[in-house]
């Protein structure tokens, strides 16, 4: 049966099957959003579950493994998490061999302020009860994992726990020991945006630092390790390294590279765009090779999840190509994107040869009453619109076939009384709970609606894709 137009229709065939047209429906509504309270507000097309056909095509997922994997789709089990590409879609595979999407929340931890501590005592009675209750809340809303910055030590006590990640600081910890790092909004800063990857001591430090990973190397609930957060992989790295002091190992490496390219008298003005790309690739490849070797030496069982690319990194194909041979999954903190760009996702996966996990993204609500000046996430008017953004974003990720999970940032709102955090985490509505542990029900309801249907939605989008591939020129609607 052929259907006209550029929208999706589902027709129940006599045998109970489904006939699909060639593409998913477009968003039917607009949501106003801004980057900051005083910035320009613009309307963005926003697709939600309400825009999809009302059908059993995406019923609630059932018969999940204890990890949250898809028992209807199984492959070889290894006892730990691994990756696999089945047909043309990337997957995580849980320890039992079930295909798996990591639906997580980042920074699942308590806040140490008088008001927050009082609220925790009143609501939970103890930190142990908080860990059990929070695990239950997340699981009840379709989440199966913990992202970076989470208090995994306490949360692992829940039975069963959520699939968790560990966020380390290989470069950051070396920099603190060496000297030269400084705090910026959301991440550490480095001199001239130059990481210390050429220091001869860095590799020795990583081998020693990675010994602590052995503590959880036999835990099947661990998904894998992030090595750092938002390192400065800048396209102007060659120029930046050349501006370091002449005795710095990074300057020496940059000077050697420039001399090899343009001769002994070469200067910064001789640098070409190709030189910039190639040197950045060298910086990234050296970092990922050194760190990956240390990670796998002390924990050969779990996935290496990269260092959480962000910002301008996302445009640089050479970064993804450089990290690919060394990581198992590419992690991306994706801000200032209302709807994920399918071409970018495809480029990241193509250049790296690896699946993608989105490790930070969020929207803040004006109706929370918070100032919302901090952080890189979107600003919308209501909690309902935060939920609409969640569905719009994750639907595109599921549709892409490249993405194996996502981590909403974060569990709890910033507490303005917490003066110990960096400037990006002081006054904003980022959480699924406020700073007194009260849930934002409209947001959680929208998250729940999508999370509990994620695997069925994969089938839904894959059926559309397969039908499109089968269509022949001349079909009605061309």
**Each residue's pLDDT expressed in tens, for the chain with a length of 478 residues:** 222 233 333 322 222 333 334 456 777 799 999 999 999 999 999 999 999 987 556 789 999 999 999 999 999 999 999 999 999 999 999 999 999 999 999 999 999 999 999 999 999 999 999 999 999 999 999 999 999 999 999 999 899 999 999 999 999 999 999 998 888 877 889 999 999 999 999 999 999 999 999 999 999 999 999 999 999 999 999 999 999 999 999 999 999 999 999 999 999 999 999 999 999 999 999 999 999 999 999 999 999 999 999 999 999 999 999 999 999 999 999 999 999 999 999 999 999 999 999 999 999 999 999 999 999 999 999 999 999 999 999 999 999 999 999 999 999 999 999 988 888 889 999 999 999 999 999 999 999 999 999 999 999 999 999 988 887 555 544 4
Q: What is the rounded distance in angstroms from the CA atom of residue 442 to the CA atom of residue 39?
A: 25
Q: Is residue 5 part of a domain?
A: no
Domain residues for 412?
A: 28-461
Using alpha carbons, list the distances in angstroms from residue 45 to 223, 311, 379, 382, 469: 34, 23, 15, 16, 26
Q: Does a structural domain hold residue 468?
A: no
Q: Which of 393, 398, 388 is nearest to 465 (CA)?
A: 398
354 assigned to some structural domain: yes
The count of structural domains within the chain is 1
Is 1 domain-assigned? no
Report DSSP state, residue 121: H
**Secondary structure (3-state) at 20:** strand
198 neighbors 249 (Cβ within 8 angstroms): yes
Strands 187-189 and 182-184: antiparallel
What are the tokens at 269? 């003005």
Tell me which DSSP letter residue 13 carries: -
Is 181 buried (19+), middle (13-18) or exposed (0-12) by CB count in 10 A? buried
Q: What are the angstrom distances between the C-alpha of 39 and each of 31, 33, 310, 333, 370?
A: 15, 9, 22, 22, 16
Letter string b/e over residues 231-270, b meaning 16 or more CB atoms within 10 A of that residue's CB: bbbbbebbbbbbbbeeebbbbebbbebbeebeeeebeeee
Give me the phi and psi of 351, to 5 degrees please.
Answer: -70, -40
Assign residue 8 a region (left: φ > 0; alpha: ψ between -120 and 50; beta: otherwise): beta
* Distance, CA of 18 to CA of 21 (rounded, Å): 10
Question: Does the residue 23 lie in any domain?
Answer: no
Which CA distances in Å does 244 have to 24, 250, 251, 270, 287? 51, 7, 5, 18, 18
108 assigned to some structural domain: yes
Query: Model's pTM, two decimal places?
Result: 0.93
Domain membership flag for residue 164: yes
CATH number at residue 213: 3.20.20.80
In a domain, 474, yes or no: no
CA nearest 308: which of 296, 294, 295, 319? 319
């Amino acid at each position: 049966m052929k259907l006209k137009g550029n929208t999706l229709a589902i027709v129940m065939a006599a045998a109970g099957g489904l006939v699909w047209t060639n593409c998913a429906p477009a968003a039917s509504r607009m949501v106003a959003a801004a980057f900051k309270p005083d910035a320009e507000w613009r309307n963005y097309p926003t697709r939600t579950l309400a825009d999809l056909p009302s059908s059993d095509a995406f019923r609630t997922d059932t018969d999940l493994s204890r990890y949250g994997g898809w028992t209807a789709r199984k492959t070889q089990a290894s006892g730990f998490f691994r990756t696999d590409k089945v047909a043309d879609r990337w997957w995580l595979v849980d320890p039992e061999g079930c295909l798996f999407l990591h639906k997580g929340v980042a920074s699942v931890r308590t806040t140490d302020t008088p008001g927050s501590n009082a609220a925790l005592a009143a609501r939970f009675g103890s930190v142990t009860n908080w860990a059990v209750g929070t695990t239950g809340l997340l699981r009840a809303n379709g989440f199966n994992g913990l992202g970076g910055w989470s208090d995994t030590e306490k949360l692992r006590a829940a039975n069963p726990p959520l699939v968790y990640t560990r966020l380390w600081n290989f470069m950051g910890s070396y920099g603190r020991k060496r000297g030269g790092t400084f705090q910026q909004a959301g991440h550490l800063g480095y001199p001239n945006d130059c990481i210390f990857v050429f220091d001869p001591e860095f590799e020795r430090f990583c081998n020693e630092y990675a010994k602590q990973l052995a503590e959880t190397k036999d835990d099947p609930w661990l998904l894998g390790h992030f090595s750092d957060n938002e390192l400065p992989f800048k396209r102007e790295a060659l120029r930046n390294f050349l501006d370091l002091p002449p005795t710095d190992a990074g300057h020496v490496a940059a000077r050697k590279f420039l001399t090899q390219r343009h001769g002994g008298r070469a200067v910064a003005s001789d640098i070409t765009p190709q030189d910039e790309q190639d040197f950045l690739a060298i910086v990234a490849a050296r970092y990922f090779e050194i760190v990956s070797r240390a990670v796998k030496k002390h924990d050969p069982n779990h996935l290496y999840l990269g260092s959480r690319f962000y910002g301008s990194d996302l445009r640089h194909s050479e970064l993804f190509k450089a990290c690919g041979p060394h990581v198992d999954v590419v992690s991306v903190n994706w801000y200032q994107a209302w709807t994920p760009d399918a071409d970018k996702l495809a480029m990241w996966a193509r250049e790296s040869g690896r699946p993608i996990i989105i490790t930070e993204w969020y929207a803040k609500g004006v109706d929370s009453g918070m100032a919302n000046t901090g952080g890189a996430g979107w600003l919308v008017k209501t909690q309902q619109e935060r939920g609409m953004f969640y569905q719009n974003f994750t639907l595109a990720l599921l549709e892409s076939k490249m993405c194996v999970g996502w981590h909403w940032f974060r569990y709890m709102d910033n507490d303005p009384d917490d003066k110990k955090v960096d400037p990006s985490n002081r006054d904003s509505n980022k959480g699924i709970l406020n700073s007194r542990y009260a849930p934002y029900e409209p947001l959680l309801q929208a998250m729940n609606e999508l999370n509990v249907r994620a695997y069925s939605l994969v089938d839904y989008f894959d059926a559309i894709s397969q039908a499109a591939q089968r269509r022949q020129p001349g079909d009605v609607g061309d």
